[in-house]
Amino acid sequence: MAVAREAEPVSSLREVKEAGLDREDLLNVYRSLLLTRGIEDRGHILYKQGKIPGSFYTGRGNEAASVGVATAMGPDDVGTPLHRDMGVHVVRGVEPWRIFAQYMGRVDGPTRGRDGNVHMADNKLGLIAMVSHLPAMLPVAVGCALAFRIREEKRVALAWFGEGASARGDTHEGMNFAGTRRLPVVFVCDNNQWAYSTPTHLEYACENLADRAQAYGFDGVVVDGTDVLAVYREAKRAIEKAREGGGPTLLECMTLRMEGHAVHDDASYVPKEMFEEWAKRDPLERFRSWLRENADLTDEEEEEIAGQIKKTLSDAIRRADESPLPNPDDLTEGVYASPEDLDTPHHK
């Protein structure tokens, strides 16, 4: 029996304005969606060209979920985005060329070649770098929220996790602790229905993961993760509620992982009909149509935006490619922090 609230779709421009977005904001959301997919598409090509070592992960199908939530964050809010959440890095302002440098293992990537793919974050933009062990970052985000509560700051932490990670104890401990203390944290589940090859019915036995929120003493909401405006509106509600002392929310964004777990995986275990059905709900196409119908997006604007994105991506790849590979002699540097490392906006 489902107990979480199901979010309504956002239908009109009036509703969007009520939720706090004007037309220019909407165009920025559209740009972020395009840039998110563009970075991953171009990254995939670079990977096939042998310019990216290791493996390569994309969040295709999850763009609206990540962009929608990140757009709802305040400037001083923080979060722990994961490997399907490129849109969060894009919205928070990580420069695309640094993302490509990260992919290519260059010194100008956020981890300076010490870690790869989406294992990155710019701490100055309020993001904390993920680890592979999911959802180990969830209790970390809870700790950010705890710090805000201790200092009585009106800031909110965003904790991302996937439905696969919901099976691990870190999720339970983090949510339970946040619930007991009513901490200002929003748990965002990117439910893309597949944990590598494992389908949801082998991952959890409740109807919605958001139903679990009730057991932790807070609200659960299920939202269509391909509808960027619905995601934005629900994230905004949850974030502002947390900011005002109303405690956590578990926001479950329903999507489909439109590619394999990583690029080596052809996802042959996903039924073809499932891909076909979800392809009709492509988040970028959905939002583009919505903008044309509701916000008078013109052919000229579309072309102009597409041109900007293309140029941004080409410039970014060129600049990233100019960034040097790390010097092997620096291998052992930086294992331990020095006092200067505490010179960040967070350590005032």
Partner 1 sequence: MAVKTYLQAISDGLRQEMQRDKRVYVIGEDIGVYGGAFKVTQGFQEEFGAWRVIDAPLSETAIVGSCTGAAIMGLRPVAEMQFADFISCAWDQLVTVAAKQRYRAGTAVPIVVRLPSGGGFSGGPFHSQNPESSFAHIPGLKIVCPATPADAKGLLVSAIEDPNPVLYFEHKHLYRRIKDEVPDERYTVPLGKARVHREGDDVTVVTWGAMVYTADEAAKQLESDLSVEIVDLRSLSPWDKEAVLTSVEKTSRALVLHEDTRTGGFGAEIVATIMEESFESLDAPVKRVAAPDTPVPFSPPLEKKFIPQVEDVLAGLRDLAEY
Binding site for partner 1 (CB under 8 A): 78, 110-112, 114-115, 119-121, 123, 128-129, 131-133, 136-151, 157, 169-170, 173-174, 176-177, 180, 334-339, 341-342, 344, 346-348
Q: 96-103 vs 299-322: helix axis angle to the nearest 10? A: 50
Q: Rank residues 115 and 227 by Cβ distance to partner 1 and give the closer one.
A: 115
The nearest distance, CB 182 to partner 1, in angstroms, is 12
Inter-CA distances, 185 with 31, 146, 173, 240, Å: 27, 9, 14, 10
Q: Rank residues 145 and 235 by Cβ distance to partner 1 and give the closer one.
A: 145
The nearest distance, CB 180 to partner 1, in angstroms, is 6
The nearest distance, CB 72 to partner 1, in angstroms, is 20
Do the beta carbons of residue 158 and residue 71 sit within 8 Å? no
Do the beta carbons of residue 37 and residue 58 sit within 8 Å? no
Q: What is the CA radius of gyration of the chain?
A: 20
Q: Rank residues 136 and 206 by Cβ distance to partner 1 and give the closer one.
A: 136
Q: Rank residues 193 and 323 by Cβ distance to partner 1 and give the closer one.
A: 323
The nearest distance, CB 110 to partner 1, in angstroms, is 7
Cα dihedral across residues 43, 48, 53, 55: positive or negative: positive
Strand order across the beta sheet in which 5-6 lies: 5-6, 219-224, 249-254, 185-191, 157-162, 78-80
Residue among 33, 65, 54, 39 nearest 264 (CA): 54
Q: Rank residues 60 and 155 by Cβ distance to partner 1 and give the closer one.
A: 155
Q: Rank residues 303 and 333 by Cβ distance to partner 1 and give the closer one.
A: 333
Quote the tokens at residue 110: 């956020």
The nearest distance, CB 118 to partner 1, in angstroms, is 12
Q: Rank residues 45 and 331 by Cβ distance to partner 1 and give the closer one.
A: 331
The nearest distance, CB 329 to partner 1, in angstroms, is 16
The nearest distance, CB 297 to partner 1, in angstroms, is 38
State CA 54 to chain mean position distance. Answer: 22
> Residue 281 CB: number of other CB atoms within 10 A?
17
